[in-house]
Amino acid sequence: MGERVCTGKLVALLIGVVACGGRAFAADMDAWEGAKSSWHGGFERYDFLMDEGTLAITPFVAPEGEKFGVKAPPVGKRRCIVVAPKVAAAGRPWSWQGCYWDHEPQTEVELLRRGFHIAFVTPDPGRQWDAWYAFLTEKHGLSKKPAFVGMSKGGVNEFDWATVNPDKVSCIYADNPAIRPEAFARLGELARNDVPLLHVCGSLDFLLQRHTLPVEERYRALGGRIGVMIKEGAAHHPHSLRDPKPIADFIEAEVRRMARADESEFAKAGMVRSTYYVPGETVRMLKEERTLVTCRGFGFTPCYDRYDAKAKSQWGLSSLTVIVPATAAEGRPWVMRADAIDAESAVDQALLAKGWTIVVAPLTEQSGPVKEQWDATYAKLTGMGYAKKVVLEGPGAAAGEAYAWAGTNPQNVACIVAENPAMRSLMSKTPPTEGLAALAKAGVRLVHECGAKDPWLEDQTRVVEKRYKELGGEIAVIVREGMGHRLRGDREVGDVVGFVVGRGE
């Protein structure tokens, strides 16, 4: 009988929760046990005390005179704080600090207005932080991936905990931070978990050169997303921005991205999503600070979803990369690139902005490019509805690989874009120049973009140009004055893109 009563109560409770759209459970999660007070803007603050030994968390009444801040905890205890928004945002997002509570709190106040909870625990990271995370996520249903906010030593703390728990972080905002060597060595864990970083620093802060700039360089090399804002003429203080909108926008956008299911065809195929962006640099005015801020990297330049897959083959491990535009152009045009894409790939960046998809064709450990794998890539993309005529692209010797594949598949190629090319190939035993006749007959257009000082200009590009014209083919050679074999990424490429897009979409 007792079991039937309990079961009946459970069923009734579940029915009530369903009928209320989950509000019964949400209400229980919002029943914070801590002693309530008011925080900036009338938000409800709840204080707790954690025993460092037992990890027990109990309600705590903040001492008089503490106001919005926090004083040192009793020996053997940790101070813990939660501030609740008026209405919690979907997914119950939150951010937390581990140092300097209530110092320059404008970002936290703005996040509260957007439905975030705000949490704090006294430093330093350790099992006490793990217990606080479990209390907030398991007992009160806050998001499993909070955002971190850390200033100065707070940056040390957030990197210490986040690099050990990279799957439990949505993003990191670090303000004039420092980082320990151990955490610096673990940055790859954050990059692999696609955790974006935003650093806000003063140009005269002594930590900029020693910490933020090395983190920026290392994180980009690891494939991570990082944006940097450098305030002109500012030192270590003041922290943050008087108008915290750019910081709050960064955090909110990442929480939404994390929560959004990836419905792309490439995600469904099991490819791993990350991001492709160019460092880019802009200078903006901070009106309230009356100074300029240099912004670069993620968040300040066009950013595109990138998908990667790796597979074993008889030629060793091979990789495939697909970078998709925000909105695909009509006909779903695409480029098959013969080598890895990087920050200097100006033509690809311009085509992405126009709705083209960029595919980095497979390269194997043992043999480099393999025709069978390129054939499979072409079949896969066209089978997904992408254009039947692809644009081939490659710089230097990689251009020779593009020519080699195109020569055996001229009917599948619209155009070849070559940057300071060398007509040689690992893919084919025959020289790529032997396929020129087939390309001319199929109407494949060629464009070579070359530096005037490139040593291969005369004996490679000019030879191809002369031969292709004799065969009746269309070729354009664009020479960049003052440049050599490596063309600058900030060059104007409208003429190349116009040649590709003019009849390619």
Q: What CATH homologous superfamily does 303-502 map to? A: Alpha/Beta hydrolase fold, catalytic domain (3.40.50.1820)
In this structure, are residues 419 and 394 in contact, taking their beta carbons and an 8 Å threshold?
yes
In this structure, are residues 327 and 258 in contact, taking their beta carbons and an 8 Å threshold?
no
Q: What Cα–Cα distance (Å) separates residue 352 from each residue in 72, 211, 269, 498?
A: 53, 33, 22, 13
Q: Is the pLDDT of residue 305 over 80?
A: yes
pLDDT score of 148? 97
pLDDT score of 316? 58
The DSSP bridge partners found for residue 35 are 47
Which of 151-155, 219-223, 379-383, 392-396 is the least confident region?
A: 219-223
Which tens digits make up the pLDDT trace of 113-124? 999 999 999 999
Q: Is the pLDDT of residue 210 over 80?
A: yes
* Pairing assessment for the beta strands 171-175 and 94-97 based on DSSP bridges: unpaired
State the helix-helix crossing angle for 106-113 and 245-259, rounded to 10 degrees: 50
Which tens digits make up the pLDDT trace of 356-392? 999 999 988 777 899 999 999 999 999 999 999 999 9
Which tens digits make up the pLDDT trace of 58-93? 999 998 889 999 999 999 999 999 999 999 999 999
pLDDT score of 435? 97
Q: Would you place residue 30 in the very low, low, confident or very high pLDDT band (cuts 50, 70, 90)?
A: low
The two structure tokens encoding residue 498: 């116009």
Q: Where are the domains of the chain?
A: 28-198+207-219+256-267, 303-502
Within 10 A of 58 (CB to CB), how many other CB atoms are there?
Answer: 12
Domains 28-198+207-219+256-267 and 303-502 fall in the same CATH topology = yes
Q: Is the pLDDT of residue 24 over 60?
A: no
Q: Is the pLDDT of residue 503 over 70?
A: no
In this structure, are residues 50 and 75 in contact, taking their beta carbons and an 8 Å threshold?
no
Which tens digits make up the pLDDT trace of 190-202? 999 999 999 999 9
Which of 254-268, 323-337, 467-481 is the least confident region?
A: 254-268
Residues in the chain: 505
Domain at 28-198+207-219+256-267: CATH code: 3.40.50.1820
In this structure, are residues 461 and 317 in contact, taking their beta carbons and an 8 Å threshold?
no
Q: How far apart are CA 22 and CA 281, in angstroms?
A: 45
User: Rounded to 5 degrees, what angle do the CA atoms 237, 194, 303 make?
Assistant: 80
Q: Please indicate, yes or no, whether the overall pTM of this predicted structure exceeds 0.85.
A: no
Q: How far apart are CA 148 and CA 214, in angstroms?
A: 20
Residue, of 257 and 202, whose pLDDT is higher: 202
